[in-house]
Chain A
Amino acid sequence: MYFTMFMLGFLYAVFALFLYSAGTAMIFIAPIIGIIVAVQYFMSDRLILMSTGAKPVTAEQEPELHRMVKMLADRYDMPMPKVAVIKTDIPNAFATGRNPKNALVAVTTGIQQRLNERELQAVIGHELAHVANRDMRVLAIANFLVTLTSFLMTMLFWNMLFGGMGGRRNNNGGGIMMVYLVTIIVYFIGQLLVLALTRYREYGADHTGAEISGDPGALADALEKISGTIANIPDKDLRKLQTANAFLIIPAALKGEGSMNLFSTHPPLQERIKRLRELEQRMRYGLR
């Protein structure tokens, strides 16, 4: 994982040098994007409350949930995070906050209804692991870099079309094209690295959560239970009912809804469940 982070940093450092030597004035937009991402980063708990309709709940309103979060936070040695509930039947959970002091963990009523105590505990443990591992910080940096390049890409594209930016294009016609191409390449490599990074973070949170609870099977059970419900809705047309055999129903992939929630498309749920099961075996038989 550190290699991926290093590669990401390296990629953008080289890119910055490249932009600088190409004399692009656009390097000045970096601070602007930086501010936007910083706002996102520092206000993430409030933003997530607004965008998901999550309602903060008190210990009186949700005593069981509060007790569970408190117990897990103690195990992670972190202060009690804010707790919120989202009123929707879709089972999901997420965590946010730039550090444990500003953390928020939210669960949907759908997940509360479907999971038993052991499974829900595993899910919250996984979310708190994201907070403990400072994953929001990593994500914010990655986000900044990708947003910056995609913004540059768009600007350069329009710049080439309309030849804007004052009268400087006479000595710069082919140059801009070159910068544009490099930006595209950097953007795509950056995307790949960010995906790899979130993948590691997800496995990492699964692993941390399992170590804290000592029960990797609980999260595997929860993931199986939840992915089972919605994915069971078939692809098949009713008119094929009598003509084809009714056994092969391939569950469609769940659609992702952002990167740090319980069901990011990435890494695949099946792979996470497999790893958790392996971890369960190793813990049970004391193998390393």
Chain B
Amino acid sequence: MGIFNGNKAPKNDWSAMSTVVKAEAKLQALGEITPSRRAGVIYRNSDDNAFLNDIESELKTILYVGAGATKTSFEIEDDDRGMRWIVLEDGNFSDLVSSVYTVGNAIGANGAGDNLLAAVFELYFTGTVEDNTYRSGLRTYWIYRYDRKAFYPFVPTGDNEGDRDRPTEARLGHDLRKHGLTVEKSLTEWMGLWGIPF
């Protein structure tokens, strides 16, 4: 703990990540967004880690078997930038969030916490928010960065690095914070993920 964050309550991943459930519920109740059934966890794979080497069967055990298993289905995908994605699918959003948390937590508990980059949720705008500012059908990603323990919105407009709708992101970040989501305060940390595999 450094001298500069002494007076802040220690944050953990669950207290930050679970705010997405509340924020999503509020917006959905207003008829404004629908979550997609899918979310992903992205991490840098490592050959030295036994758990990561055996990720598929480990996750099957964690997600499908035992008490509290959410039965969320998953797929493993490697992207062209040397990263591995666990793509999870569940029709119940709060189960989906639990499973995303569980996957990240398991990776962290097995000595690969530093390999975790982000958890990514996909949500669509269905209605309009307050002032007709979000186009119906607009696809947004809400990225949770493990090193920052906070979310930020990502609205890509193309596949090339830098193609993003900054004004919409800035506004969405503001609105999501209002709805209780833990949003990354420093905009310079809002790094994109182009070519999300879901």
- Chain A residues proximal to chain B, CB less than 8 Å: 53, 86-90, 110, 229-241, 249, 252, 254-255
Contact = CB atoms under 8 A, between A and B. Distances in A.
A239 B130 contact: no
Contacts, number: 71
Interface of B: 42, 81-83, 117-118, 130-133, 143, 145, 161-162, 164, 166-167, 169-171, 174-175, 187-194
Given A53-B131, A88-B131, A238 B167 contact: no
Contact of A87 (B42, B83, B131): B131
B170 A233 contact: yes
Given A89-B175, A236-B161, A241 B131 contact: no
Given A90-B167, A231-B166, A238 B143 contact: yes
A89 B82 CA distance: 37
B171 A90 contact: yes
A238 B191 contact: yes
Nearest to B169: A233
Contacts of A87: 130-131
Contacts of A236: 161, 191-192
Given A89-B175, A232-B187, A237 B194 contact: yes
B175 A235 contact: no
A173 B174 CA distance: 60
Contacts of A231: 166
B191 A234 contact: yes
A240 B162 CA distance: 13
A178 B168 CA distance: 45
A238 B82 CA distance: 12
